[in-house]
Amino acid sequence: MSSLTITIIQPNLVWEDKKANLDMLAKKIDSIQEKTEVVILPEMFSTGFSMQANLLAETMQGETIEWMKKIAFSKKIILTGSVIIEEEGRFYNRLIWMLPNGEYGVYNKRHLFAYANEHNHYSGGNKRLIASVKGWKINLQVCYDLRFPIWSRQQSAGEYDVLIYVANWPEKRSSAWKTLLQARAIENQCYVVGVNRVGEDGNQVYHSGDSMIVDPGGEILYHRANEEDIFTYTLQKEKLNGIRERFPFWRDADTFNLPG
């Protein structure tokens, strides 16, 4: 049975300072001692959760994408997280799945956080990204998407094996974050990885982190709050398949079609 080793980075981001964040994250990635295959950064990892898209956005040929290519190549890892991207006159909160060879997949955050006026500054996506690595299928989503279970729901048995959420999720709603990460794991019988930031942003919003890894039965395998952390863990396909075979709840699921 195959395994997949992932590394979570839970940083305190510097508000709207790309250079400071990229330098800081490069050092954190360079400090990883264990052999790892996928390194996961938070939402808007180069800027923090900013609505200054017109000032901070880059193209897909910009500095941050080139930085991701360089890091992924030099470390021989897959690197993922979301950044502010401008494309054809629109701004996107875009998750990048960067491979070591410079090829990449993208997912534009579908559910825009109207409570913070994200919908007034960014355009939403309408296509899911399910990446493949070493026989693992990984569904990639961003922050507020977590509140909308239909968007992440398995449409067929084994459609994906891991569900990743990159986030800037405030401490005030950390109870919802932790509860929903476990719920997504239980209802989809998959591993769930939630990667958040810590610290106060430029809007005086505090983030407690609470990054988590949850197994397909809902058990919390890792959780860290209120401090920066780098954590590496190996997911086991044997455990995933064992839970799905022992408890084949997918057979009783409702059929549906996703929007978009």
Count helices and strands in the chain by DSSP H and E runs: 6, 13
* 143 assigned to active site: yes
* 190 assigned to active site: no
- Which of 18, 28, 69, 109 is catalytic? The answer is 109
What is the spatial distance between Cα 260 and Cα 149, in angstroms, rounded to a whole number?
15
* 109 assigned to active site: yes
- Which of 58, 69, 143, 171 is catalytic? The answer is 143
- Which of 18, 28, 37, 43 is catalytic? The answer is 43
Task: Say how many C-beta atoms besides its own lie within 10 A of residue 255's C-beta.
Answer: 6
Burial 128-142 (b: 16+ CB within 10 A, else e): bbebeeeebebbbbb
DSSP 130-142: EEEETTEEEEEEE
Active site residues: 43, 109, 143
